[in-house]
Amino acid sequence: MKNSPVRNDVDELRGALERASFVVALTGAGISAESGVPTFRGSNGLWRNYSPEKLATPQAFAKDPRLVWEWYDWRRSIIHKAQPNPGHLALAELERRQNAARRDAAGHGFTLITQNVDGLHDRAGSRNTIKLHGDLWYVQCTGCGAVERNQEVPLPPDNLPPRCRCGALLRPAVVWFGEPLPSQAWERAVEASARAELFLVVGTSAVVYPAAGLAEVARQAGARLAILNPEPTPLDSAADWALRGPAGEILPRLL
C-alpha cells in the first residue's frame, strides 16, 4: 500500500508523462461516456431494466439469443452515431508523441489496452490497441467459428438472431462474463503492463477481472499509477495520482 498521500495534481502528472519512456493506458466504458455511450454500471447503463452482467453471458445468449442481440443492436445503433471525444483523441495523440520520441530514444512507447468493445479508440486514430473484451463490430459463428466484420445498423429485425451461411447462430465477437479473454491479447497486455513506467487507468470502475488486475501487474513491476475518474475506484489507494474528473477534460490537459 502507498504511504504518501494520493496526489491530484494534473501539472505534476503531465511532468511525469513527459519524462516516462514507456506509458500504458487501460480504458473502460467511462472514456466513451462523453461520446454518449452508456457505461456498464452507471445509472444510464440500463436497458429495459436488464443489468448488463445478466445479458453479457453465454447463459443469457443460450436462453434467449434474440433478446441478447436486441441489446447489442441497441448499443450498436448508439455507438454508430457516437463520435470519439477529446479523451479518445488525446490518447491517440499521446501514442503518436510517444512513438515519435521512440525514434530518438530506444524503449519509448505507448500501449493502449481497452475493455471497451465500441471501437471508438480505432475511430479516434489509436493504432496498436489491445482489445481485451473483443469488438461488437465483429460477429463470430457459434458453429463453424468464422469471425467477420458486421457493421449493419440496425440489424434486420426479421433476421434476429443473425445466422451464419453454415446455418448456425452468430454471436457478437465479445468476451462474456465467465469466458476467458483472448490469450494473445491478454499476454500482450501483461507484457506491456510489466514494462510500463507510468500506467494510466481511465474511465473504469476497476471491478472486472482479470482486466483490472493489470494495474497491479504494472505497480508490482515498478510503474507509477494514475487514476482518471470522476468517482473513487478500488485502485485509488494504491495510486500515485487520482484525478477526479471526466477523461475528456483531463486527458487533453496532460498533453
Measured from the CB of residue 41, what is the shortest distance to ligand BV8 in angstroms?
4
Q: Does 100 bind Zn ion (CB under 5 A)?
A: no
Q: Which of 6, 160, 168, 174 binds ligand BV8 (CB under 6 A)?
A: 174
Please tell me the distance from the alpha carbon of residue 201 to that of residue 214, in angstroms, as a whole number.
10
Q: Cell numbers for 87, please give them.
A: 479523451
Q: Does 147 bind Zn ion (CB under 5 A)?
A: no
Site of grid cell 438472431: 161
Q: Which residues contact 164 (CB under 8 A, 6 or more apart)?
A: 141, 143, 144, 146, 170
Q: Does 164 bind Zn ion (CB under 5 A)?
A: yes
Q: Cell numbers for 155, please give them.
A: 440489424
88: annotated active-site residue = no
Q: Does 12 bind ligand BV8 (CB under 6 A)?
A: no
Mask of contacts with ligand BV8, 218-247, x by CB under 6 A? -----------xxx-x------------xx
Q: Does 20 bind ligand BV8 (CB under 6 A)?
A: no
HSE-CB of 192 using CA atoms within 13 angstroms: 26
Mask of contacts with Zn ion, 102-141, x by CB under 5 A? ---------------------------------------x
Beta-ladder partners of 109: 22
Please tell me the distance from the alpha carbon of residue 78 to that of residue 33, in angstroms, as a whole number.
11
Selecting among 88, 108, 121, 133, the annotated active-site residue is 133
Q: Which residues are catalytic?
A: 133
